[in-house]
Structure formats: C-alpha cells, structure tokens
Structure 1
Amino acid sequence: MYWYKSTKKFIIYTSVLLLLCGSYACNKPEIKETGAELKYFDIKEYFAKEALRLTTQNPLVDKTVAHNGAAENKKLKITSWTKELNLFTESDINKPAWKLSYNVQANDDSVVYKAKYPELKTREIVIRKKAGQVTAVAIVNNTHNILYNTTEKLVYAPGAYYSIEKTQKVKIMGANNYRIKGVF
C-alpha cells in the first residue's frame, strides 16, 4: 500500500512539473519583445492590420469555395478576418532561427524571398509595391513527408481579392484540390 501512495504522489508531482515546464516553453517572447530587428517583411503585422481594416470596413465578399472541381459561390460578410487570413499570417518567416534561411531579391516594385533549404514550409514570398504601398502578396508553402505532400498558393491583393489554392496528395487516399477566392 505504501508503494502505491508514493508512486501516486510521484506521478502527480511529475505531471505538475511537466505542465509548468511546458507552459513556460510555450510562452517564448516574440521577436519584437526582444528588441531584435526584423530581417524580412513583417507578414504577421501586415495581415493583422489588414484584418483590422477589413473588420472596420465590413465589406460584402463574393466568395467561391471549391473542392476537387465542385464549387459553391455566396455573397457574404466575413465575421472573423483574422481567421480568414490565418494561412497568410502563418507564413511568417521572421523567426530568429530563420534569419539567414531566405535569399532576398529586391527590385523597384517588388521584394522576393526564396527559401534556401527544402525543409522550410514557406518556399517563396513575393511582395509587390507601388508608391510604397503593398499592392499584392503572393506566398507558396509546401509541406512534405513520406505520407503526404501539401502545396499552398496564397495571393492577397488589398481592396481587390484574396485566393487560396491548396493541393494535397496523400499516398493511400489520393489527391484533393481546394480553392477559395474572395472578391471584394
């Protein structure tokens, strides 16, 4: 009986310790909090501002959703622009560990970020500008392993449209194609 009580206490203490350590590890400071300068275009901040702007404007969106060619179209008001633009926000490449992981090619009207290493999910980001204002953001993401391959092509043109094209190939199940396009 004594062995059971001490084992139970050990399990409880160990569980609490692991939870505390895990929650501490999840609360890493953002790069901005450390005072470090961002190396690449700030995708997170840009889409946070766009989500706020679109929430304020509350535009009617002509949205088409397609899966393997079967499409549905509706005119609607988006209730959460933060969720709607989440795939764009998740393509942020300003992680401290990635500060030397992308080649940067800057032109007069665009900046192109290309991944140097194949294991990076975000393969390419193209930021187009005119008179200092962003006119389009195009992103290519790719995730692959021995079971599946997923490619995402994201395009956002402020005030015009956004589109998400996703191709997923799963070894046993086959391929799926998804397309979302919202026109303002």
Structure 2
Amino acid sequence: MSAILRYSFRLIRLLWVLPALMFSCQSHEQTTTQHKTFFDLKQYIASEANRLTREHPNVTKTVTLDGQIEEKNVDAVDWTTELAPFTSCNINEPALWDKYQVDSTGTTERLTVVYQSLKADLKVQEIRVHFENDRCVGVQIKARTESRLYGIVSDRSYDPDKGYELEGQQDVTGLPSTKYAVKTRYRD
C-alpha cells in the first residue's frame, strides 16, 4: 500500500507541476490598451480664457430675450465665467468615449472633426471642431437638457478670432417658451 500511496503523491505532484511548467513556458504577449481621447474642450476653453484675459480685447455683447435686444460694449470680462457654457460641454471623459461616434472630413490643412451622440438622452448631442493647419479655428456645439418640468435646446459656437454665440430655447411646463441669444464680438 505504501508503494501505491507514493505513486499517488507523485502523480498529484506531477498534476500540479505540469500545468505550472506549461504556463511558464508560454510567451506572454502584452496587450496594449489604446486610450481613446477626444478633443479636450475643457482645456482648450481654459487656454482661450487665459489668452483673452491677457489680451483684454474690447467686446460688444448683444443679448436677445424673446425678441428684445440689448447691446453694450464691455471692457472688463471674466472670461472663465463667460466661456463656462462651452467648458460644461466637455466630452473628453473615459465614461463618454463609447457614447459618441467620431468622424472627420477635409484635409490636414482644413479639417473638421465631428463628435455625434449615439444616445438621445446625452446633454451634448454634437460637437464640431474646425482646424486649419492644426490650429483650432472654431467649435460648434448642439446641446439639450430635458426633464419632466423643463427642456432646453441650445446651439453654441466659438471662434477664437471673433467671439462666441449662444442661441437656444427654454420650455418650462406651464409657461411660455423663452428664446434667447447671446452674441459676443471682439472689437478693434
């Protein structure tokens, strides 16, 4: 019986050692995970806010609310606050990378990259980023927010050489729709 027992222990050891040897001899290919990234709108707008703060351009701001227009020249602008509607639309987050389809058109000299939402319930429905010679020359955003009580649809566009525009409509249950527009232009 002791010979059978010794044989069993050898067999058990062999069954443990053999798989370990087999797995240790395999070549382990490292798989590299590519990190998909989108245009970093948050960083871009922050750098634009810094640039505009340094350059201190004269600004004409036009606000339209339900057809009533008010225009004024503004000298002191907090650009971080002023451009917050764009910063809030940043989609360069890992949790959002699979929620947008990315397409591009044009050439390396003039390129447009489009991020299109794959889900209707996302706040940012579309972002278009325009480049000329690798320099961002414009951003356009279509956004919407909906709940049981209200809905907001907005179009936002930013041009680093001219200014920005916000247009939209707000619908609140039980109240008339409100249409608004904000247009800011740099003056010479």
Classify the TM-score, shorter chain: 0.7 to 0.9
Partner AA of 1:154 in structure 2: R
Q: CA deviation at 1:146?
A: 2.3
1:90 equivalenced with 2:92 (yes/no):
no
Q: Which residue is equivalent to 2:37?
A: 39
1:59 equivalenced with 2:62 (yes/no):
no
1:167 equivalenced with 2:169 (yes/no):
yes
Per-residue CA shift, 1:28-85, capped at 9, x if unaligned? xxxxxxxx94621000000000000000000001110111011110111243100000
Matched-pair contact (CA < 8 Å) for 1:38–1:94: no
State how many pairs are aligned: 149
Q: Which residue is equivalent to 1:106?
A: 104
SS state at 2:98 partner: coil
2:160 to 158, 161, 169: 158
User: Bigger radius of gyration, 1 or 2?
Assistant: 2
Stretches (4+) displaced over 6 A:
none
1:177 to 170, 175, 179: 179
Q: CA deviation at 1:170?
A: 1.2
C-alpha distance in 2 between matches for 1:131 and 1:53: 20
Q: CA deviation at 1:102?
A: 0.2
Q: CA deviation at 1:147?
A: 1.9
C-alpha distance in 2 between matches for 1:135 and 1:86: 18
Map of 1:72-87 to 2, 5 A cutoff?
72-87=70-85
Q: Which residue is equivalent to 2:16?
A: none
C-alpha distance in 2 between matches for 1:38 and 1:49: 22
C-alpha distance in 1 between matches for 2:49 and 2:124: 21
1:123 equivalenced with 2:125 (yes/no):
yes
Q: 1:67 to 1:128 in 2, by over 3 A?
A: same
C-alpha distance in 2 between matches for 1:141 and 1:105: 18
C-alpha distance in 1 between matches for 2:35 and 2:156: 26
Matched-pair contact (CA < 8 Å) for 1:150–1:167: yes
SS state at 1:97 partner: helix
Instruction: Structure 2: state its 5+ residue gaps.
Output: 1-33
C-alpha distance in 1 between matches for 2:133 and 2:164: 21
Per-residue CA shift, 1:125-151, capped at 9, x if unaligned? 000111111111000101112222101
Q: 1:38 to 1:136 in 2, by over 3 A?
A: same
C-alpha distance in 2 between matches for 1:39 and 1:88: 18
Q: Which residue is equivalent to 1:50?
A: 48
Question: Identity rate of aligned residues, in percent?
Answer: 34
Once the two structures are overlaid, the 10-residue window that deviates more, 101-110 or 44-53, is 101-110
Supply the RMSD in Å over aligned alpha carbons.
Answer: 1.3
